[in-house]
Amino acid sequence: MHITVMYFLFLPCKYFRCQDDDMIFAVHNDVCNILKVTVVEAHKITKGWVRDLVDKPDPYVILYIPGSPNGKKKTKYFDNTASPTWNEEFTFILDPEKSYELELTLMDANFTVDRKLGVEKITLTDLNFNEETSVTVKFNEVTEIILKLLLEVDDNPDLRYGLSLCNKEKDFRKKRRNVVKQALQSFFPENAPLKDSEVPVIGVIGSGGGFRAMTALSGAMKALADTKLLDCATYVAGLSGSAWYLSTLYSHPDFPCKKPGELLDELKTSVRHSPFWLLSPRSMYRYISDIKQKHKNGQPVSFTDFFGYLLGDTLLKGRQHIRLSDQRDKIDHGEAPLPLYTCLHVKNNVSAKVFQDWIEFTPYEIGISKYAAFLKTEDFGCKFFKARIVKRFTEFPLHYLQGIWGSAFTILFRRLLQEKTKLSIDLNALPVIDSDEEDDIFFDAEEDFQDEEETLRDALGNIDLSAGGIDDIHSENEEEEGTLEDSCANEVDSKRKHSVWKDFVNNICTNSILDTRKGRAGCILNPLRGLSLIPCFSLSPFSPTSPSDDMLFKGLTEAAPTDSKTLYLVDGGLTFNLPFPLLLRPQRSVDLFITFDFSSREADHTAPFKELLLSEKWARINNCPFPPIHDLVSEYIKHPPKECYVFKHPTNEMCPIIIYFPLSNLDFKKFKQPGVPRETEEELEFANFGIFSDCKKAYSIYNFKYPSKKFDRLSQLMEFNVLNNIDIIKENLLVVMERKKKFMAPESLVLNETCAKK
């Protein structure tokens, strides 16, 4: 079977239709072979007649198929028997294009070192499909092991191929459409859509920007929810700091029954202290232990794991166990917009601005649209080969994904460790990072990931956690009554945890691994491993990317490595800081973007359009309909700055409209609510603050500590800006509704599966 897919970004905006010239990659859905080996029993196992007189064997069998992704298995062992009966079945995944041998090693278990009793090999090339074969393997011309072999073909991949939305998202859209229709009818009784095909798709987008973005988006979402504009949205998408806010909101047990504004105080309490206060021996002991166990289970680890724990303990208090798939309960009936999160897959030594694959995360699926390959959210991180799950792992906790989505900020983890700072630290004490250094940190083009896992593995491997189990970690200030014996035990336990922390810091600080982006990348098992990604261009328009490249988006037509065991994932902001690629997919058919950009600027008066211009360039290269940002910005910058801008295509009514909110403190300084002036000195002082021009860098992207006043200022600022421009949003809602009535085809044409090549 051969399935041909195309990169979604080369599709027309109105109808979803295949054209040969539009394709970038054809994914060859190879079948794979499944070998089932049953170790039935053994007879006359001997260690030699002299040893048999002293002790009977304790036998077990190791099965090994070199070249198979899950090629090593072993049976249980039996005590004191020469004729064990196992009846254990093992499954191996094989590439049909290769030849394999099954290597059997007969072992004798011992208290010290297990002893090898013999090795034999079986050629597998002569097996017939779907015919069980019985094989007797002889060791030393005496011992016999009875096997049953069954070779089958597997043509049911665990990946989903195709550019259509998954069935669960399609179901969500149908249910959400009814909610949106009712909300629009309450706003526009005379102009509201009557038919399903007339209901516009609204997407809310939040940029990266650390805790600044998270705090600001909380105010914007409060305003959208309180005015019921959020009920008009089908999607909300976040990158980095905005992804932290959305994932924290959607993981809250009371959302969406409680509105974002009702949950604001909880978030405010969480960010009063920096997550890096958690870099203490007691917390790190737990982190290191969990990460060592993850590595022992067979999954790669990186420093992003640690950062994820810090975020989880800060933002997800009491629910650190929660997972992304748990958010399905929030959206299955259309009660809230579908949340989307993102990160980038990058090459090991090429700038993320040059080569990047955007990865989208929803509660239903995770995938890379460039290859039209998607997997269930709970399967992300499992071991794959040829689109089949070879080894299943428990779904990643949400805090690990949060660490990946904002992985650029593990630079702070490096600074705290390599400068050997105090265990409890206020990030305000860190050296101020200027804009040039920020560019060096985020956009280093000569970074290499290849040694990262080995370095971290060595650092973790040199730490001894065997001195005891891990009890529940309580507050450092918590006191408990106990005996003198308990007190001594606690003192020993505390010293052990301090020793673990000291060993870890010393191991990391003596290595340069955290000096580069490789120390900030998330690392997962490659779900594309073994697949054939066939270029659809007869000749690539570009040469392959290299470490010296600086051409923006040059790697568009390059494929991910399918022979690599792992993929490296980084913060989406390393390319550009707005997650438009998630919602520019034609299958999602977004008509109106409400965009919040909290990206860094040199000063408050600096034009805020840098990330929007990069988004436009990406859209143009990928043939996505996008308003002419550059042309309109040329006009906007001639006038005083505004809180809200509207970008429309002057002639193409099929092009989506972008309502753009930069982070600006303008009317908020004078009005506490739209049309209600500030009067007292206290009210005026509260609103009189700079964001990017603040000499104290209170809202620096690297500031992770937000006292109540600082939080309230930023959150209320964005709430005010939305409310102050509510008429602009409603005006453009009317525009897209009228467009839908005039032009849009029924949604079924948009959501249908990609048509086959004709």
Residues with a known catalytic role: 240, 571
Pairing relationship of beta strands 160-161 and 202-206 according to DSSP bridges: unpaired
Chain mean position to CA 345: 10
Tokens 């509704």 correspond to what residue? 737
Residue 269 CB-half CA count within 13 A? 7
Q: Is 186 helix (H, G, I), strand (E, B) or coil?
A: helix
What the block records as the tokens of 561 is 């490595």
Q: What is the DSSP string of 462-489?
A: T---TT---PPP--TT------HHHHHH
The dihedral formed by the CA atoms of 453, 457, 458 and 463, expressed in degrees to the nearest 10:
150
Structure tokens given for 625: 């309909």
Question: Which conformational region is residue 4 in: left (phi greater than 0), alpha (psi within -120 to 50 degrees), or beta?
Answer: beta
Q: What does the alpha-carbon distance between residue 225 and residue 223 come to, in Å, rounded to a whole number? A: 5
Contacts (Cβ under 8 Å, ≥6 apart) of 696:
none
Q: What is the 3-state secondary structure (H, E, C) of 414-462?
A: HHHHHCCCCCCCCHHHCCCCCHHHHHHHHCCCCCCCCCHHHHHHHHHHC
**261: three-class secondary structure by DSSP:** helix
Tell me the one-letter amino acid at 49: W
Q: How far is CA 281 from CA 289, 315, 425, 498, 618, in A?
A: 12, 20, 13, 5, 44
In contact, 467 and 496? CB cutoff 8 Å: yes
State phi, psi for 485 to the nearest 5 degrees. Answer: -65, -40
